[in-house]
Amino acid sequence: MIYCKEDFGGDFKWGVSTAAYQVEGAFNARGKGLSVWDVFSNTKGKIFENQHGNIACDFYHRYATDIALMKQLNIPNFRFSLSWSRIFPNGIGTVNPDGIDFYNRVIDFCLELDIEPWITLYHWDLPYELEKKGGWTNRDIINWFGEYVALCVRKFGDRVKHWMVLNEPMVFTGAGYFLGIHAPGKRGLNNFLSAAHHAALCQAEGGRILRSFSTGASIGTTFSCSLVEPLTDSDKDSLAAVRVDALLNRMFVEPLHGYGYPVNDLKLLQRLEPYVKTNDQRNLQFDMDFIGIQNYTREIVTASYLVPYVWAKLVKADKRNVEKTEMNWEVYPESIYKMLHQFSKYKTPILVTENGAAFEDVVVGREVNDVARRAYLQQYIQQVLRAKREGINVNGYFVWSFTDNFEWAEGYRPRFGLVHIDYKTQERTVKSSGYWYSNFLKGTGVTDRSRLNLAY
């Protein structure tokens, strides 16, 4: 069990994460344009019980209350994303001053309370007007994205010192452009490959633009990652695990570091060739100050001739005798330890920019008891410490998420938050995991809310 955050060192960054579409609401307020998620989630049949993010947690109107609560909970770092279409309603061109003003208020209030803002520039909510032009499948997105990044760093870079370019490009290109289960709902290999290559170019180009405008900033980008292990020790399953690992964990981080796409281990990536232009191999590379890894679980795979391209299938947690979350993800704390080791080979400092779990909350009056989430966080943080003690250059840990929120295609059913949201009243209630994290950050062993003097 972890008893002292000082075990990690005084410079270790502790925080929480959120994303614009999942919490802000105000989807068409004060000049904001539509995003692909605004359109997708309001399309019948796309989201669990036809839910949408039009209001979500109403962070747009309640940001001061939420950030003040964050301060009361001793949380010193806040990772949040900007809504591209709140700033550029059409994706490019005319700027929405009300959108700029909103994020200025959020940033300034964080700093007023001595909370460090960490901005993610793109967390999946592409302006819908750009999607109508092809979105990530259109190579022009490199210029569109560049215009957006340049404006953001000019407007906010005097106060924001920590930037993340993209959030989980494997997920928003795979789920959004290949499987069609996330916005914008496109399907097909060619859509995926073109979108993925353009996203890989944008993650490096975004870094270059940030550095050109803000030489003292800390610049990174984030990657989803899951420990991938074979179902059996057979050669077929072992090779299947290699292919899935190349797709899920290596496809975006390796070109960034100059290794190119992992074509040798996943022949499918040879089909990227039609989208690769002169100088692209060089332009895929950028020397990030850090990389963020976002780990929740491990994946067990087995060879399958029924699944094209990777010839492997995942064996879901509910098909195995394991502890699992409401997302049907296995609880396997050692996964984060092993992924920290795996990503350490790229020689770039690492932060854990997301980790957390969705479990059913037991709500009794003003109390929310989430023992399983608290245990999950304790166990995963212990594994981060284990890796750090073994010399892994890991320098931070951010819980996903601060509040419950709109969980994409799953709607509001899964709850990841340290803070419970009653979506009918928007009332906030700190969960037992939130109190535990607060006291861990404060350096006490207190878990009883009555001894925290929290006024909210």
Instruction: Give CA–CA dist 131/129, Å, rounded.
Output: 5
Given the residues 24, 168, 205, 330, the one annotated as active site: 168
Largest CA distance in the chain: 63
Q: 88-121 b/e with 16+ CB inside 10 Å = b?
A: bbebbeebbeebbebbeebbebbeebebebbbbb
Annotation marks residue 24 as catalytic: no
Quick one: which H or E segment has residue 296? none
Is residue 354 part of the annotated active site? The answer reads yes
Instruction: Give the phi and the psi of residue 80 in degrees, each rounded to 5.
Output: -145, 160
Q: Which of 129, 299, 354, 407 is catalytic?
A: 354
Q: How far, in Å, are 233, 235, 263, 323 from residue 320 at the CA level?
A: 17, 21, 31, 9
What kind and span of H or E run contains 264? none
Residue 26 Ramachandran class (φ > 0 left, ψ -120 to 50 alpha, else beta) = left
- 122 contacts 111 by C-beta, under 8 angstroms: no
Whole-number Å distance between alpha carbons of 193 and 87: 28
Closest CA to 82 of 163, 140, 180: 163
Tokens of 96: 């929405």
**How many CB atoms within 10 Å of residue 308?**
9
Question: Looking at the annotation, which residues are catalytic?
Answer: 168, 354
